[in-house]
Amino acid sequence: MGMYEKFLTTKPHLIIGQRVRVVGEYASDWPDECIVTGIEFNAVRGVWNIAIMSKDDIEAGYGSTDGFAEDDLQLAHLASV
């Protein structure tokens, strides 16, 4: 399956505005709950590229951080704190 077909046949499981926690390799860099602020398809890797922001980043007016795949994030109400 080519990237175009993969794009047409997949959809992200997260939506903008959902509260998430980072899991895995970068969890210690992102200990607080974050908000999904953007989602786009990365045609090079064939995955959804997800941007997030912490509450502090939103309050300070900073930009979001992208590069997260869905496997890097878990819904905040499901993550163990």
The pLDDT tens digits of the residues spanning 5-32 come to 888 888 899 999 999 999 999 999 999 9
**Pairs from 63-72 (Cβ < 8 Å, separation ≥ 24):** 64/37, 64/38, 66/38, 68/22, 68/26, 69/45, 70/12, 70/13, 70/14, 71/24, 72/22, 72/23, 72/24, 72/25, 72/26
> What CATH number does the domain located at 3-75 have?
2.30.30
pLDDT tens digits, 42-80: 888 888 999 999 999 999 999 999 999 999 999 998 755
